[in-house]
Amino acid sequence: MPNETKSRITDGFHLVVDALKLNGIDTIFGVAGIPITDLARLAQAEGLRYIGFRHEQSAGNAAAIAGYLTRKPGICLTVSAPGFLNGMVALANATTNGFPMIQISGSSDRAIVDLQQGDYEELDQMNAAKPYTKASFRVSKPEDIGTGVARAIHAAVSGRPGGVYLDLTSEVLGATLDADAAAQSMVRVVERAPRNIPDPESIKRALDLLASAERPLIILGKGAAYAQADDAIRSFVEKTGIPYLPMSMAKGLLPDNHKQSAAAARSLVLAQADVVMLIGARLNWLLAQGKGPRWSSTTQFVQVDISPTEIDSNRAIAAPVVADIGSAMAAFLAMLKPGQIQPKHAWLDAIAERKQHNTERMAAQLSASPNPMNFSSALRAIRDVLASKPDIYVVNEGANTLDFGRDIIDMHQPRKRLDSGTWGVMGIGMGYSIGAAVVSGKPVVAIEGDSAFGFSGMEIETICRYQLPIVVVVFNNGGIYRGDDVNHSGGDDPAPTILMKSARYDKLIEAFDGTGHHVTDPQTLTRALTAALASGKPALINCVIDPTAGTESGHLQNLNPQTQVGKGKRN
């Protein structure tokens, strides 16, 4: 029921809080200011958890990852114009990744904004948001708040989830309304994400194709992780015996040490599979669009996806299954006959052989103890500490720090790895860490490149203020990719990719009464991480890495155009 005052009058502020509570929203991530300060204050007074950030982008990233983990839209609250735009990067990133999120922003006086008469923080926010969101709404009457919130929830969570913008003008927030009429105007969403049942024909077609395959492969993407159909997915993989590859955020959906994982034979299986079943994974740049030398041109595809327009977007899909993954996997399991799908022994043997070969090569790299540390030796220390703590969330961003981290850190539970995602964006680190810690109450280890950390580093104050169990490990190699580039002009300014190698990131957190560690070898890293996790308190480990250990653009050198003329110098 809406908050009723003695005078039986309510207002926009109360109605927004009422509508969120009525729909099971319990947390707001934001930055306060005109015109939403009182909204944040009231939400907290009314029992919602309000987490206040230092920058809207991080608040937005926290909301987005909260949405991914809970399947409820994460809420980000921002002020007008610049605050709104700061949050928009996170909202666009949520849309790109398929995370359900609603950015609620206050906006300035509509009449002045629309005539461009120069209001405080003037911007046509609803229209600015449209290209980057699944939907963008503006509420102009207090009696429409309930409908506005309900529409935003539906748009964010149904179908392929994504970012939604909800504009609340300052007039609406302050507008009063009779409490009974207000109560009538509230909308409780009955079904946030209706099931999308597959056509049985499409299931049969897909099973027939898989049964005809000699070298089948399953690729699990973060849509499969989001669907929370963990048991059904595992059961289908195990019953069919098909080898699988997890995309980075699907790691842990089945434990990384599962015998059917083909992760350590990735290039072999992509190049040689004859039928590939995509479950909640797009054939985007992360899979080379399904084309080129990494793929066979004769591969046939099964694609399980909730979005009908994803089908045929890059390669022709022989067996599309348009459905929510929970319903699709249930239908597959119901229709699958024992022994119907049997990958050929030669295929499984070839994969096993390549896995063993690659695992041995990687073990040699991991057992080396170079001085100074490189990415492998530092990550090995972290991997070993985390091995016995499978419920810890791992947040990971950077270039080399991300690429090595994805390969070296095994995940054992679903939805525990949160990373740069579809855009390869920097700046998600502290927001994702805070969002995950807040909604789960579980510890988080954020493995951050030194450049990546800088994008959201000020949020360590937020982490300390809320005393969240987050340990940030900064891989300090003195730069973007590497720390050894030189200024090609011969001048005194550092090169474009250079950061301060001597930076003591550990001292930053000490300013907020957190614990800092400075480590230069794996043994000290192991001790620092173990102690930090045992304390359950905020900590930051400045982890010194060889500045020459990384490669430019990490694994993405093929996407990095380079001048062929005079290497950036004038001829």
Residues that bind Mg ion (CB under 5 A): 449-451, 477
Q: In whole angstroms, how close is the CB of 418 to ligand ADP at the nearest point?
A: 12
**Which candidate, 544, 475, 541, 540, places its Cα nearest to that of 514?**
540
Alpha-carbon gap, residue 427 to 458, rounded angstroms: 11
* Nearer to ligand ADP among residue 286 and residue 318 (C-beta): 286
In the list ligand ADP, ligand TZD, Mg ion, none, the entry touching 28 (Cβ below 5 to 8 angstroms by class) is: none
* CB-CB contact of 506 with 476 (8 Å): no
The set of residues, in sequence order, having a beta carbon less than 8 Å from that of 468 and lying 6+ positions away, is: 433, 434, 437, 438, 444, 538
Site membership for ligand TZD, residue 332 (CB under 6 A): no
Site membership for ligand ADP, residue 221 (CB under 6 A): yes
* Nearer to Mg ion among residue 323 and residue 545 (C-beta): 545
**Contact letters for ligand ADP, residues 158-187 (x by CB under 6 A):** --x---------------------------
The H helix count followed by the E strand count for the chain is 22, 19
Of these, 35, 87, 427, 429, which contacts ligand TZD (CB under 6 A)?
427
CB atoms within 10 A of CB 235: 16
Of these, 70, 235, 284, 524, which contacts ligand ADP (CB under 6 A)?
284
* Nearer to ligand TZD among residue 81 and residue 402 (C-beta): 402
* Nearer to ligand TZD among residue 261 and residue 456 (C-beta): 456
The set of residues, in sequence order, having a beta carbon less than 8 Å from that of 37 and lying 6+ positions away, is: none
Tokens of 196: 């999308």
In the list ligand ADP, Mg ion, ligand TZD, none, the entry touching 464 (Cβ below 5 to 8 angstroms by class) is: none
Q: In whole angstroms, how close is the CB of 250 to ligand ADP at the nearest point?
A: 5
Alpha-carbon gap, residue 244 to 421, rounded angstroms: 19
Strand 300-305: give its sheet, edge to edge.
244-246, 216-220, 275-279, 300-305, 319-322
Encode 94-158 in three state secondary structure.
Answer: HHHHCCCEEEEEEECCHHHHHCCCCCCCCCCHHHHHHHHCCEEEEECCHHHHHHHHHHHHHHHHC
In the list Mg ion, ligand ADP, ligand TZD, none, the entry touching 426 (Cβ below 5 to 8 angstroms by class) is: ligand TZD
**Which candidate, 366, 431, 396, places its Cα nearest to that of 554?**
396
Of these, 14, 55, 134, 222, which contacts ligand ADP (CB under 6 A)?
222
**Contact letters for ligand ADP, residues 287-316 (x by CB under 6 A):** ------------------xxx--x------
Site membership for ligand ADP, residue 247 (CB under 6 A): yes
- Of the CA atoms within 13 Å of residue 527, those in its CB half-sphere come to 7
Q: In whole angstroms, how close is the CB of 242 to ligand TZD at the nearest point?
A: 33
Of these, 408, 452, 472, 525, which contacts ligand TZD (CB under 6 A)?
452
- For ligand TZD (CB under 6 A), the number of binding residues is 19
Give the helix/strand (H/E) hosting 178.
strand 176-178
Q: In whole angstroms, how close is the CB of 351 to ligand ADP at the nearest point?
A: 20
* 177 Cα distance to chain centroid: 39
Amino acid at 383: R
Alpha-carbon gap, residue 50 to 55, rounded angstroms: 14
Alpha-carbon gap, residue 149 to 162, rounded angstroms: 15
Q: In whole angstroms, how close is the CB of 384 to ligand TZD at the nearest point?
A: 20
CA dihedral 41, 43, 46, 52 (to 10 degrees): -70
Binding piece for ligand TZD, criterion CB under 6 A, among 197-205, 450-458, 511-519, 520-528: 450-458
* Nearer to ligand TZD among residue 105 and residue 400 (C-beta): 400
**Contact letters for ligand TZD, residues 476-515 (x by CB under 6 A):** -x-xxx----------------------------------
Site membership for ligand TZD, residue 450 (CB under 6 A): yes
Of these, 53, 137, 475, 505, which contacts ligand TZD (CB under 6 A)?
475
* CB-CB contact of 310 with 279 (8 Å): no
In the list Mg ion, ligand ADP, ligand TZD, none, the entry touching 286 (Cβ below 5 to 8 angstroms by class) is: ligand ADP
Is the four-CA dihedral 49, 55, 58, 60 of positive or negative sign? positive
Of these, 31, 81, 189, 249, which contacts ligand ADP (CB under 6 A)?
249
Tokens of 371: 């001085």
**Which candidate, 373, 426, 430, 383, places its Cα nearest to that of 553?**
426
Of these, 73, 198, 290, 449, which contacts ligand TZD (CB under 6 A)?
449
Site membership for ligand TZD, residue 68 (CB under 6 A): no
For ligand TZD, the binding residues in 385-414 under the rule CB under 6 A are 398-401
Of these, 324, 397, 403, 461, which contacts ligand ADP (CB under 6 A)?
324
Amino acid at 335: M
Percentage helix, strand, coil, to 5, in the chain?
Answer: 45, 15, 40
* Nearer to ligand TZD among residue 302 and residue 480 (C-beta): 480
**Which candidate, 436, 416, 447, 469, places its Cα nearest to that of 58?**
436
Alpha-carbon gap, residue 516 to 427, rounded angstroms: 21
Give the helix/strand (H/E) hosting 298.
none
Q: In whole angstroms, how close is the CB of 550 to ligand TZD at the nearest point?
A: 5
Return residues touching ligand ADP (CB under 6 A). 97-98, 160, 221-223, 226-227, 247, 249-250, 280-282, 284, 286, 305-307, 310, 324-325, 422
Return residues touching ligand TZD (CB under 6 A). 398-401, 424-427, 449-452, 475, 477, 479-481, 550, 554
